[in-house]
Amino acid sequence: MADATYTPPEVWTHDAENGGRFANINRPTAGAREDKDLPVGTHDFQLYSLATPNGVKATIMFEELLEAGHSDAEYDAWTVNIGEGVQFTSGFVDINPNSKIPALLDRSGPQPVRVFESGAILMHLAEKFGAFLPTDHTRAEVLSWLFWQVGSAPFIGGGFGHFYAYAPEKFEYPINRYAMETKRLFDVADRQLAQTRYLGGGDYTLADIATYPWFAPFVFGAIYNEAKTFLSIDEYEHVARWVKEIAARPAVRRGRIVNKAWGEEDEQLLERHSAADFEGKKF
C-alpha cells in the first residue's frame, strides 16, 4: 500500500517537532552554538570522535599504524558525545566546520593541521606514514574503493538506517529505496571479494579500514535492530569471510572500542592516551 501523499510547501521551514530521534541537535544551520574549548593531550595527534562506523575508521587506522611499528602515530582520543551536541562547541567547529566526527588535529609539523572527514583522515595518515596506501599501479584501485565507501555511507546510514530504525514514522517507499541500495552495495563488495582477498585487490589497505566498520555490524547483527535479517545479509558470504578475517586483527579489536560510550563497561574506552589504557578491557 502506498504511503499518504505529502505535498511539499512552496518554501521549506525547519520543524523541530518532526525531526525524529535526533531532533534535539539537528538544525539547518552550521557554526558553533557554545563557546567551549576541547581537551588537549600530549601526543602530536589529537582525535575527537565517537565509536560510530565513521569514527571507528580513524581509531582502527591509528591502532594499525602502531601495530605496524609506527611509534610516532601515538594519539590522544577524546570522546565527542554527539547526543549532547559537543560537536557544536567552538573548539570542535574550529577543527571541523561541518560538526561531524571524527575530527583530527595533527601537531606533528611546523604548524598544526586540521583534518576532517573520515576518508581525508585515513588518507592524511596513510601518506604521512607511508602505510596502507600503495604507491604502485594499484594505488588508483585502492583509492577508488575508498571513495566508493565514502560516497556510499550516506545511503546506508542516513538513508537505510534512518528510515528503518530512527524515523518517527515508518514509510514503505524510503525503506524500500534504501534497503535496495544497501543490498546493492553489499553485492558490489561481495562480487569483488569473491575474486580478491581484500577490496583493493592486493594487500590490506585503507579501503578495507574504511569499509569494515560499516559492513561488520550488519554481518554481526549489531546495527539498526533486525537489519541483518531484514536485508538477508547472510547471502553475502564473501563479505562475511572478509569481515571475520579483519575482525580478528589485534589493531581492529582495539580500535573498535576506543571512544565507545555504550554497551558493557569493559568494552568501552572513553579516552585513549596510551596502550596501557586497554588493560582490563575486552577487545
Three-class secondary structure of residue 140 per DSSP: helix
Tens digit of each residue's pLDDT (9 = 90 or more) over 102-154: 999 999 999 999 999 999 999 999 999 999 999 999 999 999 999 999 999 99
| C-beta of residue 211 within 8 angstroms of C-beta of residue 119 | no
How far is 112 from 241, CA to CA, in rounded Å? Answer: 40
Domain boundaries, the chain: 45-132+257-278, 139-247
CATH fold of 45-132+257-278 reads Glutaredoxin (3.40.30)
Q: How confident is the model at residue 1 (pLDDT cuts 50, 70, 90)?
A: very low
Q: CA 69, CA 63: separation in Å to the nearest integer?
A: 10
Model pLDDT, residue 3? 57
Q: Which stretch of DSSP H or E encloses residue 79?
A: strand 75-79
Burial of 138 (C-beta count, 10 Å sphere; 0-12/13-18/19+): middle
Count Cα atoms within 13 angstroms, Cβ side, for 50. Answer: 14
Q: Tens of pLDDT along 9-48?
A: 999 998 876 667 777 788 999 999 999 999 999 999 999 9
pLDDT digits (tens, 9 = 90+) for 142-182: 999 999 999 999 999 999 999 999 999 999 999 999 999 99
| CA gap 281, 249 in Å, rounded | 16
Closest of 15, 18, 7, 27 to residue 168, by C-alpha: 18
Amino acid identity for residue 198 in this structure: Y
DSSP classification of residue 106: E
Among 1.20.1050.10, 3.10.20.80, 1.10.10.10, 3.90.280.10, what is the CATH number of 139-247?
1.20.1050.10
